[in-house]
Amino acid sequence: MNTQSAAAPLRVAIVGASGYSGGELLRLLAPGTGVHIAHVTAHTLAGKPVGEVHPILAGVVPLTFSSFKPEDFAGMDCVFVALPSGEAMEIVPALQGKVGRIIDLGGDFRLPTAEMYERYYKKPHTAPSLLGNAVYGLPELMREQIRSAELVANPGCYPTSAILALLPAIAAGLIDTRGIVINALSGVSGAGRSSSVELSFSEVNESIRAYKIGTHQHIPEIRTTLERVADMPVTLSFIPHLIPITRGIYTTVHADLKTDVSPETVAKTYADYYRNEPFVRVASRIPEIRSVLYTNYCDIAAFVEPHTGKLVVISVIDNLVKGAAGQAIQNMNIMFGFPEQHLLK
């Protein structure tokens, strides 16, 4: 195990630290116990102090953003890449060999093939040779592989919520893997910090809408991960919705139980599966987004719907923490031998 000593703090850098996920990384890493933020980049904001872009960090993170130059990262223990999908695959090859470990928060290394990436992300993959080397960074499923990984593909926010909702039922063989229905509602910060008319306050406020029905880039990520557990094909419908809140994801999953299963059996299956997971809380009550905001927790409750006999699972996370920066730090903790709760709550 690669355990950091108190005398040698982990040197970390963040590429794309001006965005929402990058800002969350800075907020969570700033306390600095065992970790030193050594370098931050934000190309269009190069030369600006961190505190001007993230006012909550003024006087807390005394760094200035710079442009990305691979040579500036030499000797870093861990680099977080918090860029929009399509950008990490252009810079990760330049970092390899210069830094210890890389954690990508975007979607460039989550899928198994370049063909699948191009189909859903609508652009060619420029570093396909790295796809087989990246470890999918869902600790509840891939913890042992994460420990020794050099490149971790941090899961998407929607997939984190959906996969965690389904893992126990699929691992136990309780449900039919065909025809799973996933409805997920996300706060506006999930779209990133770039401005657009459709994400403006007047367009989003007092409204709710679905989008990318059947075409969302997270569909193959959810499906291929569940197929790894089920060891059989999985078919699912994933419908994302935009809701007028800043942060949080509320996911509802419907699936057909293979046989008559009691609510008590379902509850025990979920409680047993996540018993030793520090950031998954299984409850009998219906979860709420406000219970997980600014935390790395995923709250889950599973029910047997009495009229149809279907399994219904509710899963809630903060999309910027467990769905992005918090999970990335959880992965860092696993990779470098820190307790998983280090710097998280």
CA angle 231, 159, 183 (to 5 degrees): 105
Beta bridge partners of 242: 186, 209
Of the candidates 14, 79, 157, 314, the residue annotated as catalytic is 157
CA angle 85, 292, 227 (to 5 degrees): 50
Known catalytic residue: 78?
no
Query: Which tokens go with 43?
Result: 């190309």
Backbone angles phi, psi at 166, to 5 degrees: -105, -20
Q: Which of 312, 299, 307, 173 is nearest to 255 (CA)?
A: 312
Burial of 93 (0-12, 13-18, 19+ CB in 10 A): middle
Backbone angles phi, psi at 221, to 5 degrees: -65, -45
Gap between the Cα atoms of 178 and 47, Å rounded? 52
Gap between the Cα atoms of 122 and 134, Å rounded? 21
Query: Which tokens go with 15?
Result: 């590429």
Q: Which of 33, 221, 264 is nearest to 110 (CA)?
A: 221
Gap between the Cα atoms of 13 and 329, Å rounded? 12
Q: Which of 80, 5, 99, 91 is nearest to 40 (CA)?
A: 80
Task: Please state the separation of Cα 176 from the chain's center in Å.
Answer: 26
Backbone angles phi, psi at 329, to 5 degrees: -70, -35
CA 327, 108, 179, 242 dihedral sign is positive
Per-residue CA distances from 310 to 250, 284, 306 (Å) = 19, 17, 8
The answer to whether the beta carbons of residues 240 and 184 sit under 8 Å apart is yes
User: Would you say how long the chain is, in residues?
Assistant: 345
Query: Which tokens go with 341?
Result: 């709760």
Write out the catalytic residue numbers: 157
